Amino acid sequence: MRISSRRFLEAALTIAAPVVLLLGWEAISRSGWVNQLFWPPPSSLWDTAVTMVREDDLFMDIRFSLVRIIGGFLLGAIPGIMLGLAMGLSWPVRVFMMPIATAIYAIPKIALLPLVIIALGTGETAKWTIVAISIFFLVALNTMSGVLSLDTMFRDVARNFEASRVQVFLGVALPGSLPAIFTGLRLALGFSLIVIVGTEFLSPSEGVGALIWRSYSILAIKEMYVGLIITAILGWLLILSLDLIERIVVPWN
């Protein structure tokens, strides 16, 4: 009963937070404290959203952004995990890669977009690449930290049983660092959404970011807010999906 009550309370609090935010926004907008032209009440956005679904291919924009986020995320996260494991297990690899990792990690990733466009153009490959570059070292550094935090006893036991490097890599370092890996993946997934929306601002074709930018350009304020709310919902659903995967892959965490 206690576990069920805890889960019910968690679900209620999770729903309560956005509801309180929307009610506060609605109250402030209706009160006249702000200009409804620029701060429309949330209740007035529903009809706009329905119209956008019917007339403006809203779902197509969402699909484009999702494909770019997931594609770029996988392209950057999988190699990032492998490099992070290698950095955690091998001090020469760690010493060699750390200056590059820390230097590139500190650069605002949207600043790399002109270089990516010069190299790859403005197509889908460029968008996937900028997301992958943005999250690669974030995932790698979190994975490395997870490996380094492992109790050395586990590696000693593996060596005593004459485990190969591949067995240590896959049987000790990877499962032991999974909680840290998923922490990095969670951060990287949110960052992927930020980067792709910003990229779509600068290269406004299809996508939720392009929708927001187009709406802003013509002062279609309600359409812009619909795009912003969709971005928030996408971020929440993506993180929720990753949390569900973590519960399956890392049930002991």
Q: Is 1 helix (H, G, I), strand (E, B) or coil?
A: coil
> Could you tell me the residue ranges of all domains in the chain?
1-39, 46-249
* CA–CA dist 33, 28 (Å, integer): 6
Instruction: Supply 101's token pair.
Output: 């990792």
pLDDT band at 186 (very low <50, low <70, confident <90, very high): very high
If one compares 56 and 31, the residue with the highest pLDDT of the two is 31
Cα atoms found within 13 Å of the Cα of residue 29, Cβ hemisphere only: 16
- 93-103: per-residue pLDDT in tens? 999 999 888 88
pLDDT at 219 over 90: no
Q: Which amino acid is at 217?
A: S
pLDDT tens-place string over residues 32-82? 888 888 888 888 888 888 888 887 788 888 999 999 999 999 999 999 999
Nearest Cα neighbor of 168 from 181, 178, 158 is 158
**In b/e form, how buried is each residue of 84-113, taking b as 16+ CB within 10 angstroms?**
bbbbbbeeeebeebeeebeeeeeeebeebb
pLDDT tens-digit readout, 133-156: 989 999 999 999 988 887 777 776
Q: Please say whether the dihedral angle defined by the alpha carbons of residues 88, 89, 91 and 93, taken in this order, is positive or negative.
A: negative
Rounded to two decimals, the pTM is: 0.84
Report the pLDDT value the prediction gives residue 149, as an integer from 0 to 100.
Answer: 84
| Distance, CA of 65 to CA of 181 (rounded, Å) | 24
pLDDT at position 78: 94
* Fold classification of 46-249 (topology level): MetI-like fold (1.10.3720)
Number of CB atoms found within 10 A of residue 127's CB: 29
pLDDT at 162 over 70: no
Q: What pLDDT does residue 223 have?
A: 92
Instruction: Provide the pLDDT for residue 204.
Output: 63
Average pLDDT, whole number, for the chain?
85
